[in-house]
Amino acid sequence: MAEMQTLFPFVRIVKQDKMKRALLLNVVDPSIGGVLIKGEKGTAKSTAVRSMAQFLPARPAVKGCAYRCDPRYPKRLCADCQARIAAGEELETVKVPMKVIELPLNATEDRVSGTLDLEYVLKTGKKKFEPGVLASANGNILYVDEINLLDDHIIDLLLDSAAMGVNYVEREGVSFSHPARFVLVGTMNPEEGNLRPQLLDRFGLSVEVEGEDSITTRTEVIKRRLAFDADPEAYVDSCKDELKALTKQIEQARKLITEIPVDDNAVTMAAKLSMKFSMEGHRSDITLIRAARANAALAGRKEITKDDMKDVAALVLAHRIKRNAFDKTKFDESEVTECLARM
């Protein structure tokens, strides 16, 4: 068995605060809808996502379940777990680590969704399902590098499953479904092509990362990378306390978020920001509230403030603004401050 690669630690990535915030918010509240990270090569996009495995908290799962169903939500259990309960079995719970599951760029629809053995169905009258990537992704992070190079129908499939929390497979009139609740994270280099606006809107958050143009910052990046390359295990070990602290922060935020009310003030702030930036529909309003609440939870607070809205506004709104094909105007965050100042 090949030795697992030691990854550069998330907590030692220099700057790129918006990218790190977007990822953490989705871990605290997966209903935010995932994140798309856009940027040139060498800006720590893939490093940040893959290294999340070092601090992701464990979660409860049904022992022996192929989809690691979460026993806290009985209505979301797979058919097998429901059948076990119906037969009078008491489901045993175990703790499983949250993982980063990576989707191969050349993955077929069958590889993603899984396959039904129709021959077995015809012979026995029973369903036989071979799980795919979406089964592995349930309760985890599903990461797609160079997501803009995936076929659109595969991206649609991923986004639909992420939104519904279920993977539904149908072949020749035979159907099967299983839980598929995951955080979809995509990274891409815009120079290699962009996603359709309809697909962009389906991502809860989006962030554009750039290379550092400060000598001080670039110097620090080089020093940290060289120190890591010299002894990866020792370098990761040197920041284990920071990683443990981050895990604890996420666990506490997950508990706290249920206690944070969505009051009229938070709803009004979200509505005003969406109207200010001419958002279509209400996906942006809902996502602003969810992201701001997760942001408050990460900070250990029990209320949504203007600062929370300011922290998440660009992540939620920037990729939803309608622009001309060659318009590279950046999102003006001063307009967010101005909009909220009137409240």
Q: In this predicted structure, which of 31-40, 197-206, 243-252 has the lowest mean pLDDT? A: 197-206
pLDDT digits (tens, 9 = 90+) for 147-175: 999 988 899 899 999 989 999 998 877 88
pLDDT attached to residue 326: 52
Domain boundaries along the sequence of the chain:
35-54+99-210, 57-97, 255-341
Average pLDDT on 98-107 reads 92
> Global pTM?
0.92
Question: Burial of 81 by CB count in 10 Å (0-12 exposed, 13-18 middle, 19+ buried)?
Answer: buried
Res. 2 pLDDT band, cuts 50 70 90: very low
Average pLDDT on 191-203 reads 86
Q: What is the CATH class of 35-54+99-210?
A: alpha beta
Most confident of 5-14, 34-43, 223-232, 329-338: 223-232
Res. 3 pLDDT band, cuts 50 70 90: very low
Q: What is the token pair recorded at 246?
A: 């981050």
Average pLDDT on 78-92 reads 94
CA 243: distance to chain centroid?
19
Q: What is the token pair recorded at 105?
A: 């760029």
Q: Which residues are catalytic?
A: 283
For the domain spanning 255-341, the CATH number is: 1.10.8.80
Mean predicted lDDT score pLDDT of the chain: 91
| Number of Cβ atoms within 10 Å of the Cβ of 172 | 9
Does residue 83 contact residue 138 with C-beta atoms inside 8 Å? no
pLDDT digits (tens, 9 = 90+) for 120-135: 777 787 788 899 999 9
Sign of CA dihedral 275, 280, 285, 290: negative
Which residue type sits at 195? L
- β-pairing verdict for 205-209 and 141-145: unpaired
pLDDT digits (tens, 9 = 90+) for 220-245: 999 999 999 999 999 999 999 999 99
| Sequence-distant (≥ 6) Cβ neighbours of residue 163 within 8 angstroms | 33, 202
Q: What percent of the chain has pLDDT over 90?
A: 75
Q: What is the token pair recorded at 263?
A: 């009051």
